[in-house]
Structure 1
Amino acid sequence: MAVLQQHRQQQQLKLEREIIELREKNAVDKKKEAVAKLKELFEDLRVIANSSGVLSEEIIRASIVPVENLQPGAHEKLLERRQEKEKDDDESHGTDNDEQVEEDTENLSSVDKKLESGKYKDDVYALYHDIKLATIANLIKYPIGSEKYTQINDFFKFLSDCMFREAVRLGLLEEYKGEHEAESKEQAESEETTMNRGVTTRRSAAGLGTEKPAATDGTNGTNVKLEANGRLKTNKKKLTQEEYYAEERDRFESDIFNGFKKIFSDVMEFYGEAYYIMGQQGPMFSSLTGKAAIDPRETVTRGLFNTVQVLPPTKVQTGPYHLMYVSPPVATRIPHPSLPPSEILQFYVHPTNAPLPSTRWLKYDSYSSFAPSSDDFATVLKRGSSAAVWLDKVGLPIAEEAAAKREQDEYDNESNPEDDEDEDEEDEDDQAQQAEEDSDVEMKDTGSDLAGDSVNKSVVQTTEAAVKTESAISPSTSDIVNREASPGSSPALTVDDGINLLHVLEWSPASFVDDDEIEAAANGTQVELVSWLLLELQDMQRTRLAREDTSAFMIPERERRLALKIQNILSRLIGETNPKDLDLSLSHLLPILQTNYAGTLPGPPEPKTSQAGRSTTRTPSRQTRTKR
């Protein structure tokens, strides 16, 4: 019996040794696997970072990061000393600072060299912080919002995203770490139970009087020993090899995970910056200034403008809407007969009867040469379909009606040629009669009659005044008075004065064309002429406004005429230019005013209450008592 128990104890100890060796091997293998994955991560980032051309030269391969991995916060101090050196021009004031900066620059390296030499080892956050430091050192060289500034900031964001993406691809970041920790805890508890069973077996064999080998509990780090008297002796000792490997593996994995956790916390704090000013209706904000979140420089604002930090938007998950949000609850009681009927859904049209939104034809009178002729925003039918429907319903009937009318007119003209000849003769008679009426008007001479003399004198005075007026308006006009008439006859009046009354009514101060405009139009140098005229107008305005008297606000006639001349040339240039002649990509979507109808669905009417506060309507009780 004793031999059998001793054999069982030996088998149990052998099984325990195998379990310990297996766990040690698994711990070493897992650590080697994690180290290999981390090394692969660094190699991938190095390849990606070095494939960006000029940005790689300025950030990854430039010697601007310390050789040794500094503690968090030391990078910022080094950067502050560099900025102070650049801003400080006084040699006496910056002597100590310059010496410190020179000592720091002697121990500088690049991110690429540190990756190649393996300086980072298992410190992921140190790699991220060096890339961030190199990016900041390049950002402060350029103004905020410039093209180079934006490229450097985007390159840093791209590298940060690559670190997380490659870590997830290699399995360094577990998505469900809580489940992994729960499984590890269950496995440790099962192993502890197995070890306790071995201790119980050895305790039952303690009556043989021989000292048994010590049992090691891997969970609490104690050494369990059975003495000859049967008492259990426990001694604290150092960690076993198995526990050391397990703890080293857990520490290595936790360091990697904590490094990525620090990077994620830093990335989540990135924000944008915008300007704002307090108005009468509250604050008014501008768009983002384009400043990087890692830029340590302070934005200088003037006047009433201030800066505000804009956090990135986060998605808020909301549940689905319930029916009560779509339609109000229906009243359980019957409404009063005196109340008018109410519609739950007013202006409701079934989708099968609703008209489909089609193309809208736009009309722009003075801008029709370049403005779009139609609007296809939120349309269901295409432009060709709507045009085909319009042609079938409206266009063809109009065209047929116009063609029929034109054919009828041609037929009438061909069937009645005599009527046309009569009409031509009537037109000739009318022209002859008009010519006779326009001939010179002669007045009969009454001899020595005083009344006739007075009439002749008044007519002569009137015609002379008319001659003076017409000569002032148009010098090239022929004389109205026929001065070569006989002394005894009345003066002759001429009607054809060469002035069109319609042109006189349409005349404006801008109705003139100079010789230089005609010459510029012939040579194609109208744009150059406008440039010279604008410079001349600007010089005239500057000279006039430089005066200190009230005449500075009185525009002279020459300046006003020059402004009208420039306006005429520009209007002619715009009218003669087509959109095809300009290398511009014009937008075919113009804002169109639409009508919005605001309203809510009608709800149930509120119950009416009496003056005493009781309801006017009483409902019978649902429960009634019956007596037997």
Structure 2
Amino acid sequence: MSPDDLLADLQIVLKAASTKCDVLDEKFPSKFYEEIPAKIYESYFKFIKNRSNLEGVLRNEDKLALTTINEKFDNKEYIPEQHGIYKLYHDITLVCILLIHYYPQGTKNYYMVDKFYHFATELILRECYKLGMIIDANDDIDSTDTSTNTELDDVIGKDFIKVSMNYKLPLTQTYHIKTKDLDLFSSLISKSNLDKRPHELPNSNFEINNVIPQTNVQEEAPRLGFVAANTSNIPDPTLTPTTMLTNFSHPNWYNLPTTTWLNYDDYKSWAPTLKEDGTVVDSTTRGITWLKKVAYMNILKEKKIVEEKETSEEKLDKEETIIEPANTADTTVAAAITKTTNTPGTADAIETPTNTVNTPNITGSTNNTTTITTDTTTINARKMEGDMGAGAGSETKMLDMTEVNGTKPTPDGIVADNAADKETSGKSGKSKVIKLENLFNWSPSNYLGQDEIESFKNGRQEKLVNETLLKIQNLRKKRVSNRVTKPTEEETQLYHKAKRLMKEIILAKQVSDFFPSLCKSFPIVQATYSGNIPVIRAQHARKRRHRK
């Protein structure tokens, strides 16, 4: 393999490796060159400083010639006989220094550029060494033209020494901080060896420690006996077990901290209600488990289905509602149902029938007819209006069945009347729905009496407060005289009433200077859980041997 083929292969490999960091396409000054690899950063700093003004802006920036590593590869500027291998390392190091100082520490691009620098440098060193070995082998075989081979060998050897002497792996470092109990160390800090910036500490109290590499790499590894646990306490498996799980302890045997409810009385509407810091099970998981256990989630699903059915029925009833004329409410409708037969005793019952309708035989006679007359003196009609549940605004007209000329109403009419009454009573007597959230948020101070509302309307709320306080004072005197410590229910209600009235009076006055500065910290019940579950160790008592 010739040196030209080596550089062509390096270009292909480096181009594929720099797809994520674009090192080969980054521009840099084409006229900058430093012989000593350890002084590349300082020389470039002086190079830019000499061409900048006091404000740090480049003078005649347009005239500064720039190039890239890919352009130099295309122009064949990396010639092995003219220290082309070192020039390639020089340009890669310069571009990596520029990008390392451009990206912030700890970013993804920062790590990618540093990784590419190590990969490219180690690749150049390996290929230089292989090329030198090939040239030496060819010199031994063909000793005709040794002058050119020895010169090329010397150039490649010098380039290899320059690169290998400058290439160093940085020491791994960690953050360190001292606490009251013990020292804390962070994970390894991957700072690039090309980065000349100081460390960006997360806190001024942190320190940086260098991790010393292991020096006992070549020592013999420890055997299994030093790594495994002591097996002297394990009984022989051939023996029958007498006790099982002697030193076993389950986490459920210990009281682990869970969610704590906080009670702030009247301030719970805006104050936190739960304390979940350091808990094992949060309130949401516990609440869902409890609701599933009591089948409350199924009740919610059934409630949604019933509500959807009711809304659909209401829409259908609103579409089918019959709107009656306005004058029907003021008119009186009378109806009389009489039965006439062929007997002579009933011939003079009705003199002038207005409408006669022949109906089927009900009583068993062949000449039976039913006569309906409009008469306000014999029969009164009643009209019932009410909400029927599904169809609001509909009217139901019932006929009052009374005796006409000594005749009683038919059984069919009575049955129809009773059925209609049951239907209206069943639909009108709908049960009230109680919301669960109202029961949960209920408190005695949320109840308002009629006297409180009237006192605020009349502007006598202060008088009501004085009367309430006097009642509380009298009840307290009686209680103390009888040596009763617990207040009665009446005294508790009066206390909440006075507290509620005074609160509303103060808020109505809008006194801005009354409230002091509120404290944002609240006392909470905090469970301290160190994170380690103690294990109960059985202490076996040793029997003393007595010498005889």
TM over 0.5: no
TM-score (norm 2): 0.39
Flag the structure with higher helix content: 1
TM-score between the two structures when normalised by the length of structure 1: 0.35
